[in-house]
C-alpha cells in the first residue's frame, strides 16, 4: 500500500510540475520579448573593423528580420532560462560575426556549441532562414552537422586568421572562442595573402558565388596584406590595449617567437577552452585546397550530434 502511495504521489507531483511549467511559459515568453525589445539595438553593432563593408553589416541586420530574431531569441532563452538577455546578446553578436565570415570566405568552421545552438534554432524556421540567407548574400548558408565533434586545428587557425582581422577581440571574444592561434600562428595563410594575386586568393579562399558587399569585404581584407600590412615592429600591444583590435598584435606575434609572452592573454595555448573541435559543417569543404566550396561544418558542438 505504501509503495502504491509513493508511486501515486510521484505521478501527481510530475503532473503538477507540468501544469505549472505550462502556465509559466507564456509569462516567460512575455518577459523575454519585453527584454528583447528593450535591448535589441545592442545586437545591431557587431564591432567590426573597417575591413568589413558597412553595407554588408547593414544587409545582415536587414536580413535578420525583427520578428524572426525575436522568435529565435525566445526559443533560445526558454532552453536557457537562467541566462540574461545581455548574455544572449553576446551570443547573437558572435553568431552574426560568424555569418559574416561564412558569407565572405569559402571555408569557416564553427567552434562554439552555444553559438551553434542559436544557429540551429534559426535553421529550424526553414522559410525564415531561407529568406534571411537570400536577403543577406543572395544564396543559402548551409549547415552540415557532424555526428561527433572533430579535432580540426588547421581549420581553427584559419578561423582565427579571419576573425582577428575582421573584428575586435575583447573579453567576450575570448570567453566565447578561447584564446586565438592555439596550435599554429597561421604563417601559411599569412604568406598566401602577402604573396598571391587577388584572383588567386579569390579562387582559393573566397566564397563563390557571394554578394557584391561580401566580395568587397574580401577585397578589403586582402588589401591590408598588399603594402598596408602593419610592420612587425609596430606597437601592436599598445593598439590592442587602446582599441581591442588585435590584427597589429597578431602580425607582431606571428613574426617572431621572442615576444610570445607579451600576448599570452590573446594568443597561444588555452588549457581551459575546448574550442578547437569543430561542431558543424556550415557551408564549407574540409579540404584546404577547396576553401571556395561554400558549405560550413560543425567541428566542436555537442548540439550537432543528433
pLDDT by residue (tens digit) across 27-37?
888 898 899 89
Other Cβ atoms closer than 10 A to 40: 16
pLDDT by residue (tens digit) across 78-123?
999 999 999 999 999 999 999 999 999 998 999 999 999 999 999 9
pLDDT by residue (tens digit) across 149-187?
788 999 999 999 999 999 999 999 999 999 999 999 999
pLDDT at 233 over 80: no
**Please, are residues 182 and 268 in contact by the beta-carbon 8 Å criterion?**
yes
pLDDT at 279 over 70: no
**Please, are residues 84 and 66 in contact by the beta-carbon 8 Å criterion?**
no
The whole-angstrom separation of Cα 303 and Cα 277 is: 13
Percent helix, strand and coil across the chain, each to the nearest 5: 60, 10, 30
Amino acid at each position: 500500500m505504501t509503495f502504491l502511495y509513493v508511486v501515486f504521489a510521484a505521478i501527481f507531483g510530475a503532473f503538477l510540475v507540468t501544469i505549472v511549467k505550462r502556465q509559466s511559459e507564456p509569462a516567460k515568453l512575455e518577459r523575454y520579448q519585453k527584454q528583447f525589445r528593450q535591448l535589441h539595438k545592442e545586437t545591431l553593432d557587431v564591432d567590426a573593423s573597417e575591413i568589413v563593408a558597412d553595407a554588408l553589416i547593414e544587409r545582415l541586420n536587414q536580413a535578420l528580420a525583427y520578428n524572426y530574431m525575436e522568435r529565435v531569441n525566445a526559443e533560445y532563452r526558454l532552453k536557457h532560462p537562467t541566462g540574461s538577455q545581455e548574455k544572449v546578446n553576446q551570443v547573437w553578436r558572435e553568431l552574426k560575426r560568424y555569418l559574416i565570415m561564412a558569407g565572405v570566405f569559402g571555408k569557416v568552421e564553427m567552434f562554439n556549441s552555444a553559438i551553434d545552438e542559436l544557429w540551429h534554432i534559426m535553421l529550424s524556421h526553414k522559410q525564415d532562414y531561407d529568406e534571411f540567407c537570400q536577403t543577406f548574400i543572395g544564396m543559402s548558408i548551409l549547415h552540415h552537422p557532424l555526428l561527433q565533434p572533430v579535432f580540426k586545428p588547421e581549420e581553427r587557425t584559419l578561423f582565427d586568421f579571419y576573425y582577428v582581422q575582421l573584428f575586435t577581440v575583447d573579453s567576450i571574444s575570448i570567453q566565447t572562442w578561447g584564446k586565438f592561434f592555439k596550435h599554429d600562428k597561421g604563417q601559411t595563410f599569412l604568406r598566401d595573402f602577402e604573396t598571391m594575386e587577388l584572383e588567386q586568393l579569390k579562387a582559393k579562399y573566397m566564397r563563390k558565388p557571394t554578394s557584391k558587399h561580401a566580395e568587397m569585404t574580401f577585397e578589403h581584407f586582402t588589401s591590408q596584406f598588399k603594402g598596408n600590412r602593419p610592420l612587425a615592429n609596430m606597437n601592436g600591444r599598445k593598439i590592442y590595449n587602446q582599441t581591442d583590435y588585435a590584427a597589429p598584435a597578431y602580425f607582431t606575434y606571428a613574426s617572431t617567437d621572442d615576444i610570445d609572452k607579451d600576448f599570452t592573454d590573446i594568443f597561444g595555448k588555452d588549457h581551459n577552452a575546448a574550442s578547437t573541435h569543430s561542431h558543424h559543417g556550415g557551408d564549407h569543404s574540409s579540404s584546404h585546397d577547396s576553401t571556395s566550396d561554400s558549405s560550413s561544418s560543425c567541428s566542436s558542438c555537442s548540439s550537432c550530434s543528433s
